Structure formats: structure tokens, C-alpha cells
């Protein structure tokens, strides 16, 4: 019996895959998908050891330091850095409850602070501490999960001020980091990704009938396929789970 050759993925970086927010719905599925492809995978999150919590800036530096020590010790290279953290609703660091705002009347500083902490400031700290660990040559990927609602050009409905604004800030951070990363490694890819609507704790209260809600495993497979297929020149851009560019 002859077996068909596996599809070629010339652009897929080799080496260790690190998934931040790997304890979340999409993050866990991405970690599983990368593991199924034969990558060694390191999960980092608030409940991992070491823990990574954006509310504790030092924890981000500590996790990066331990990763740097592992890379130096094992000789592995960091092929994928996936940032799958995010916040839409729930408890803020000050213990208050935050919900997406339906109107400007619902805007409050505590919710806004927390949305910016988790969706923009945390990933920015990840850029500072983790991007220098990507190899200086050869293909490697830094992918940050954003959301289409963070697109200013695509915003026809309004509402969700804090989530939209913090994801728009993340998109700018991703684009800016991609410019700097390209100076170190022309083959490095740094992108923002919209995963579509996915059945996780984050989307669960808002999943309306009629909206195409997909299981995390499907979303993860689609996102990894998008990363495989992105052509040169894609770094610094924003793509959805079908590989289509999303307007800023």
C-alpha cells in the first residue's frame, strides 16, 4: 500500500511552541494542534507553573527568563509564540464585575483598565520579554489573537467600547512590533489573528442563534492553516480564520 505524502508546509517553523493563555478555550486547542503536529509545546497561564499573570508584571519577565534558560540549556529554538490571552467579561483585578458596554453610559474606568491590561498591556509586555527569544534567522511565528470587533474600519454596530478599543490598541502594538522584528529576522512573521466566533467561556454569554459558533479544535486547525499559508509580506498584518485580511 502506498501512503500519500503529507501536505508540504514549507513555511512551518520547527522547534518549541509556546502558547500564552494555553489554559483558555482557543489557547488549549492551539496547544493541542501544535502538539499533534509534533512540536514540543509549553503552556503558560495564570494557573501554570511558573504562572504568567498580566496583573503581575514580574511574572511575565520570570516566565520569559525561564524560557530563555530552557532554550539555552536544550538548544531548542522558539518556532511559535502564540498569545491566546484575552478578556471580554468577568472579574477585574479590583474584584468588580465587567461586562461589554452597550452604551457610553456604561463606560467605567475599572472595566476599561482591565480590558486594556489583558488585551493590550499584557501582550505588550510579552513583546518586550518574549520576542527577543525568537531566532535571529529562519522562519518563526509570533501570533496574537485579536478580534474583528477591534477593527475600526469594520465597526458598524458600536458598543463593546473597552474590548474594541483594547483590541485596536493590540493591533497597533502587533504592527509596530512586526516592523522592529523584521529588522532582526526577515523571515519572522508577527501577526494579529481573528479566530471567528468560537465556543469558549469568553463568547458563551453572547453566542446568538444564527451566529456561526465553532468548536475550539476547529478554530485552532483553521488558524494554524492560516499561519501555514500566509505568503511573504504578511508580517505586521491582521487576518481572520479564513486567511482573509481584516481592515484596521
Interface ranges with ligand NAP (CB under 6 A): 21, 23-27, 45-47, 52-55, 84-87, 118, 122, 145, 147, 194-195, 197-198, 200-203
Min CB(139)–ligand NAP separation in Å: 23
Report the residue number, 131 or 135, with the smaller CB distance to ligand NAP. 131
DSSP character string of 50-75: S---TTSHHHHHHHHHHHHHHHHHH-
Report the residue number, 137 or 205, with the smaller CB distance to ligand NAP. 205
Min CB(106)–ligand NAP separation in Å: 19
Report the residue number, 35 or 139, with the smaller CB distance to ligand NAP. 35
Min CB(213)–ligand NAP separation in Å: 7
Distance of CA 73 to the CA centre of its chain: 26
Q: Other CB atoms closer than 10 Å to residue 109's CB: what's the count?
A: 8
Burial class (CB in 10 A: 0-12, 13-18, 19+), 185: middle
Report the residue number, 55 or 61, with the smaller CB distance to ligand NAP. 55
C-beta separation of 91 from 102 below 8 A: no
Considering only CA atoms, which of 229, 222, 219, 221 is closest in space to residue 25? 219
Report the residue number, 33 or 135, with the smaller CB distance to ligand NAP. 33
C-beta separation of 152 from 106 below 8 A: no
Min CB(38)–ligand NAP separation in Å: 23
Report the residue number, 31 or 135, with the smaller CB distance to ligand NAP. 31
In the chain the first and final C-alpha atoms are separated, in Å, by: 50
Contacts of 144 (CB under 8 A, 6+ apart): 83, 123, 170, 173, 174, 190, 191, 192, 193
Min CB(146)–ligand NAP separation in Å: 7
Min CB(195)–ligand NAP separation in Å: 5
Amino acid at each position: 500500500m502506498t501512503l500519500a505524502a503529507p501536505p508540504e508546509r514549507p513555511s512551518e517553523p520547527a522547534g518549541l511552541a509556546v502558547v500564552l493563555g494555553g489554559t483558555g478555550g482557543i489557547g488549549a486547542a492551539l496547544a493541542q494542534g501544535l502538539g499533534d503536529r509534533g512540536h514540543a509545546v509549553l503552556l503558560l497561564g495564570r494557573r501554570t507553573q511558573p504562572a504568567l499573570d498580566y496583573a503581575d508584571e514580574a511574572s511575565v519577565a520570570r516566565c520569559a527568563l525561564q524560557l530563555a534558560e530552557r532554550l539555552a540549556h536544550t538548544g531548542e529554538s522558539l518556532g511559535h509564540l502564540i498569545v491566546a490571552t484575552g478578556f471580554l467579561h468577568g472579574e477585574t483585578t479590583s474584584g468588580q464585575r465587567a461586562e461589554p458596554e452597550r452604551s457610553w453610559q456604561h463606560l467605567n474606568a475599572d472595566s476599561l483598565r482591565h480590558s486594556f491590561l489583558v488585551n493590550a498591556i499584557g501582550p505588550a509586555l510579552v513583546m518586550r520579554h518574549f520576542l527577543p527569544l525568537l531566532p535571529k534567522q529562519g522562519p518563526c511565528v509570533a501570533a496574537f489573537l485579536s478580534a474583528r470587533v477591534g477593527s475600526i474600519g469594520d465597526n458598524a454596530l458600536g458598543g463593546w467600547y473597552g474590548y474594541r478599543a483594547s483590541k485596536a490598541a493590540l493591533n497597533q502594538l502587533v504592527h509596530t512590533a512586526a516592523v522592529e522584528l523584521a529588522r532582526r529576522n526577515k523571515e519572522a512573521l508577527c501577526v494579529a489573528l481573528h479566530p471567528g466566533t468560537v465556543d469558549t467561556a469568553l463568547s458563551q454569554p453572547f453566542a446568538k442563534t444564527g451566529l456561526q459558533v465553532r468548536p475550539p479544535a476547529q478554530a485552532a486547525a483553521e488558524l494554524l492553516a492560516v499561519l501555514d499559508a500566509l505568503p511573504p509580506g504578511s508580517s505586521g498584518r491582521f487576518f481572520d480564520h479564513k486567511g482573509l485580511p481584516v481592515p484596521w
